[in-house]
Chain A
Amino acid sequence: MRRASAWKPMDVLLRAALALALLSAASVRAADIKIATVAPDGSHWMEQMRGGADEIKMRTGSRVTLKFYPGGVMGNDAQVLRKIRVGQLQGGAFTAGGLAERYNALNLYGIPLLFRSLDEVDAVRAKLDPKLIAGLEQAGFVSFGFTEGGFANLLSNEPIRSIDQMKRKKVWVPEGDQISFLAMEAMGLSPVVLPVTDVLTGLQTGLIEMTFASPVAALVLQWQTRVKFRTDLPVSYSYGIFAIEKGAFNTLTPDDQKVVREVMTRVMGGLDHTARDDNKRAAEVLASSGVQTVSVNAADVEGWRRTVEGLYPQIRERPDVDKPMFDELSAVLADYRKSHP
């Protein structure tokens, strides 16, 4: 009896300890990773992401659940980053510019007139994407690959075929995009900073006369109702990043991390590849909606490039530019151009 009564409290303690251990193990393992995105529910992007999430849930025995907040309900990139900081969210689908606040090398691909073709993009991305992903991870975000948004083209109400036709035109520049602002100014344009959602009204009221976007983005934003011409020149390259905050990712077991990496890398790779066909089709739709495609004469394109390239030393010195990565990118591009004259 004495023994029994002596053991009883121990028994209770042990059980309690065991229960607590199980509880904490369960709370670590059953990770609910909350992810924000502006992609609307039902879009191709969301369908692919949900497909990936289902596979992860199944393969991790429901220990890892990705929960999505689509349609921009969690706000813009900056707001999502704030919510990640306070632990309300664990990840998000960002624009490169949006996440550059945490790792500024992500801005580099978007330098105006940097790339001349998608072949150049492929050559650079094959070499630099892994480095950018590694750099981003050091900066606190685990990413599984980038998804192409494509080249933005100039969209305007007057045809733009030469540098003269652009002089002093009021052009939209996204909030916070200092590099584009500089480049537009250097090309003789008058940049006007607006939130993307005000561009349509800006075009309507004459606050801006020109804007730029990929064909897909132009259609989604319904800019085809307010512009008449699309200048078929790759102005700047855009891409998106799906990333999970490293601290949250590290709470997963190594095996679960492996599953998440494998599945999401595959999903992002698939989305990356669909963008080109999407933009091609969207460009056709823009044309059939009455937006005429115009080309710039080759001499003017060269002139623009020289103007913007003349800014590179200034861009390189900016505090928001990653100098070593900028130099590496320049070297990769130069190599590519040498072997593909």
Chain B
Amino acid sequence: MRDLRVRLALRFAAFVVCAVWLAGCANLIGSRASATLSAAILDQDDPLLVESGLPAYLLLIDGLIKRHPDNAPLLSAGAQMFALYGSRFADKQHAIALTTKARRYGERAICAEYEPACHWPGIGYDDLVAQLAKVDSKKLDSLFSYGVSWLANLNATSEDWAAVGDLPWVEAVLERGLALDEDYQNGAIHGYLGILNSLRPPALGGKPEVARAHFERAIELSQGRDLSIKVEYARRYARLMFDQELHDRLLNEVLAAPAEAPGYTLFNVLAKQEAETLLATSKEYF
């Protein structure tokens, strides 16, 4: 469950929450509040603290969405925050409920900005690809939230064949996002596409070399500061291809790197924990 990296745009999410929540008292607190809050979460080096604190924000964003049901940025923030909490901090059953909610918010976010997307649930693959081609970069935040929240939900429900069936659709959404802005969130979309392309072995139609290129590019665009990319690269690609040298090198790099990096500290702390677990089972696996 926790192994699918759902690294989210908390900066963006927190900004939206603050912007709407604090709209009435903006004069008192000022625009710096949102930046301070987002930094407090993303730069936090104590995942337990975030785990216990985040539910308050989930309740808050739920309430705000009730009041502003068609607000795309708010829905995007809801999709991403629920996906984050569901994929990183919840148990199996709860994760399904939380990420399902995330996915619904993601669907509503893109629907609020692009009317044809309101009919995407259940759409055929070719029709989706054709309509995605018309989504422009102004809608990228919503498109990204839609794709990432869907992916988090598929991961939580991966025992159902529906999750396997949906993978090409999610990949198409993320591919469009990448075409609109490769550098979005410092290469985060490359990271997700790296994961998607390393889910299947070559014998079953997988494209590990495509995965490898995505992971390498994600590392380059984040200037190596996002340690969770290296962990997924090791866990997904290196294990799939039985490349122990690459696996151990990536994970040792993660352990040697500082966790503190503006905007990445929380995920880097989690990445280091995962790197230790993966390294401990390296000998047994390879």
Contacts and interface: CB of A to CB of B under 8 A. Distances in A.
Interface residues of B, number: 24
Interface of B: 122-126, 159-162, 164-165, 167-168, 199-205, 239-242
24 contacts: A38-B201, A38-B203, A40-B201, A41-B240, A71-B201, A71-B203, A72-B203, A76-B203, A196-B203, A197-B202, A197-B204, A219-B164, A220-B200, A221-B204, A222-B167, A281-B161, A281-B162, A282-B165, A285-B165, A288-B122, A289-B124, A289-B125, A290-B124, A290-B125
Interface in A43-78: 44, 69-73, 76
B161 A41 contact: no
Given A71-B201, A285-B162, A222 B168 contact: yes
A76 B201 CA distance: 11
A38 B161 contact: no
B85 to A, nearest CB: 23
B203 A222 contact: no
The number of chain A residues touching the other chain, given as a range, is 20 to 34
A267 interface: no
Contacts of A281: 160-162
A73 B165 contact: no
Contact of B162 (A71, A73, A76, A288): A288
A49 B21 CA distance: 51
Interface of A: 38, 40-41, 44, 69-73, 76, 196-197, 200, 216, 219-222, 224-225, 278, 281-282, 284-286, 288-290
B23 to A, nearest CB: 41
Given A220-B164, A289-B125, A72 B205 contact: no
A38 B205 contact: no
Contacts of B199: 40
A41 B3 CA distance: 13
A282 B166 CA distance: 11
A71 B240 contact: yes
A224 B125 contact: yes
Given A41-B240, A225-B125, A72 B202 contact: yes
A219 B161 contact: yes
